[in-house]
Amino acid sequence: MYMIDLITKKKLGQSLTAEELKFLTQGIADSTIPDYQISAWAMAVYFQGMSNEEIVAYTKAVIETGETMDLSQITGFTIDKHSTGGVGDKTSLVFGPIVAALGLKFAKISGRGLGITGGTIDKLEIIPKLKCDLAIKDFIKVVNKVGMSIISQTGNLVPADKKLYALRDVTGTVDSFPLIAASVMSKKIAMSADLILLDIKCGKGAFVADVKNARKLAQLMVHIGKSFNKTVYAIISDMNKPLGKAIGNALELQEVLLSLQNQGPEDLKILVNNLVGLALLGAKKVSSLEQGIKQSELMFANEQPLKIFYEFVKEQGGDVNYLKNINNLPPTKHIINITTNKSGYLDFINNYALGELSVILGGGRTTKTDVIDPMAGIYLKQVHGQKVEKGSVIMELHTNKPAALHDSFKQLASTTFAVYDVQKDIKPIILEIIM
């Protein structure tokens, strides 16, 4: 069997067999297939797609390149959650402590930034000494003791996807539905949690621009899960505007801590409440989503979730004092104010460009070997739909990049928002729920 034949077959829109997919994924995992051929196959998939049967077979082949995780040693009902990524998405770091405080177990393997989106692991790794590469036995130990743990993808869990994940980021194949669905679900199924929660982002700051395609992706993921006898719930959430006010690793971590003190942005809180509600429903702790949401809302006013977050960081070796003093960290060399030249109602019109801006400020990667500046990013001084006055600061750009680049930063920032005389319709954060 030759890789060039598989590339050609997929280029022509034909489905690969289970045996061919096993050859492909094993070659990715053990590096016997070179990056350029893997990238060529991924691009062929991007244009030609995969059948549902092929996606399930590919997901199975990816899982079989590594080990599956036995979570039977975790006491209680286990939840795994995944977001398809968005601008300012720090949901897992708020969801985990809330759901753990309500008696469920949050066991998550997470990734790094992909495209314009920030990764949960990137955010956590700015905490000094925190270990995200725990052995599975230590991961399970933390979950049992604290109620939650988040670690990076281990070398033995779906290794084929780990390599392809990095290549997709730099070859323009991030937004391929089959590759997104198989990547997410292979990890989730290998994790063996009792319930898989999916947050499918939809809008100009997401891989999926409209509700129709977001629904298609969500249904595909749920289909894959059901093919492996897994319970999967999916939320489609709006990403036409940033989630919260902070974009960038340290800035988002600050917002997480504010949220866990019930002082965070309302849109993030609503999203977390719905996810927690679904988790409680899936665990049969409540009889309706509304009851679950109510329990989550009450927990936001409790100090227990913040204590759990600190304990989680401590158990994984992290410096809790760093978190407690995060608002006193030295700022970036430059903070650039972006203002509006008219009064009216603020509308973020290009959320994708806002994500791109965060990356070039230093808060993300353009190649898989780039080093992220943890302090770089964007802080929104005004929120979508708000009435603003002429001269108001719309956002702060935090960067250590040289001053010679600042005019280009300002120009890109000016394309991300508009101010209108009349307030535009504001979409709810939750668009659909698929179960």
Instruction: Work out the mean pLDDT of the chain and round it to a whole number.
Output: 94
DSSP 248: S
The amino acid present at 296, given as its one-letter code, is S
- Whether residue 265 is predicted with pLDDT greater than 80 in this model: the reply is yes
Q: What is the pLDDT of residues 281-292, one digit of tens each?
A: 999 999 999 999
Task: State the Cα–Cα distance between residues 71 and 193, nearest whole angstrom.
Answer: 7
Q: 8 burial class (0-12, 13-18, 19+ CB within 10 angstroms)?
A: middle
Task: State the Cα–Cα distance between residues 420 and 269, nearest whole angstrom.
Answer: 27
Q: Does residue 304 contact residue 147 with C-beta atoms inside 8 Å?
A: no
Q: Region 226-241: what's the mean pLDDT?
A: 95
- Whether residue 90 is predicted with pLDDT greater than 80 in this model: the reply is yes
Q: Which of 67 and 246 is assigned the larger pLDDT?
A: 246
> What pLDDT is stored for residue 116 in this prediction?
67
Task: Give percent of the chain with pLDDT exceeding 90.
Answer: 83
> What pLDDT is stored for residue 112 in this prediction?
72
Task: State the Cα–Cα distance between residues 351 and 207, nearest whole angstrom.
Answer: 11
Closest-CA residue to 370 (of 128, 150, 166): 166
Kindly indicate the confidence band of residue 276, based on its pLDDT and cuts at 50, 70 and 90: very high
DSSP 370: P
Q: What is the pLDDT of residues 405-415, one digit of tens each?
A: 999 999 999 99
Q: What is the pLDDT of residues 185-202, one digit of tens each?
A: 998 999 899 999 999 999
For the entire predicted model, the pTM comes to 0.90
Kindly indicate the confidence band of residue 66, based on its pLDDT and cuts at 50, 70 and 90: very high
The amino acid present at 96, given as its one-letter code, is G
> What pLDDT is stored for residue 425 in this prediction?
84
Give the pairing of strands 334-339 and 195-202.
unpaired
Kindly indicate the confidence band of residue 372, based on its pLDDT and cuts at 50, 70 and 90: confident
Task: State the Cα–Cα distance between residues 61 and 18, nearest whole angstrom.
Answer: 8
Q: Does residue 357 contact residue 413 with C-beta atoms inside 8 Å?
A: yes
> What pLDDT is stored for residue 209 in this prediction?
87
Closest-CA residue to 220 (of 80, 51, 79): 51
- Whether residue 114 is predicted with pLDDT greater than 70 in this model: the reply is no
Helix (H) or strand (E) run with residue 59 in it: helix 52-63
> What pLDDT is stored for residue 115 in this prediction?
59
Q: What is the pLDDT of residues 308-354, one digit of tens each?
A: 999 999 999 999 999 999 988 889 999 999 999 999 999 999 999 99
Helices (H), 260-340: 266-282, 289-300, 304-315, 320-324
> What pLDDT is stored for residue 367 in this prediction?
67
Task: List, in order of start, the domains of the chain with CATH numbers.
Answer: 3-49 (1.20.970.10), 78-324 (3.40.1030.10), 331-420 (3.90.1170.30)
- Whether residue 382 is predicted with pLDDT greater than 90 in this model: the reply is yes
Kindly indicate the confidence band of residue 113, based on its pLDDT and cuts at 50, 70 and 90: low
Task: State the Cα–Cα distance between residues 157 and 64, nearest whole angstrom.
Answer: 9
> What pLDDT is stored for residue 76 in this prediction?
96
Kindly indicate the confidence band of residue 47, based on its pLDDT and cuts at 50, 70 and 90: very high
> What pLDDT is stored for residue 164 in this prediction?
92
- Residue 201 to residues 52, 217, 273, 407, Cα–Cα distance (Å): 21, 10, 16, 31
Contacts of 3 (CB under 8 A, 6+ apart): 24, 27, 33, 37, 41
Q: What is the pLDDT of residues 130-189, one digit of tens each?
A: 999 999 899 999 999 999 999 987 768 889 998 898 898 788 898 899 999 999 999 899
Which pairs with CB-CB distance under 8 Å and at least 24 residues apart come from 182-186? 182/55, 182/58, 182/59, 182/62, 182/224, 183/62, 184/82, 184/84, 184/221, 185/59, 185/221, 185/224, 185/225, 185/228, 186/59, 186/62, 186/63, 186/158, 186/161
- Kindly list the catalytic residues: 82, 161, 168, 183, 187
Q: Region 54-76: what's the mean pLDDT?
A: 94
Give the pairing of strands 148-152 and 246-247.
unpaired
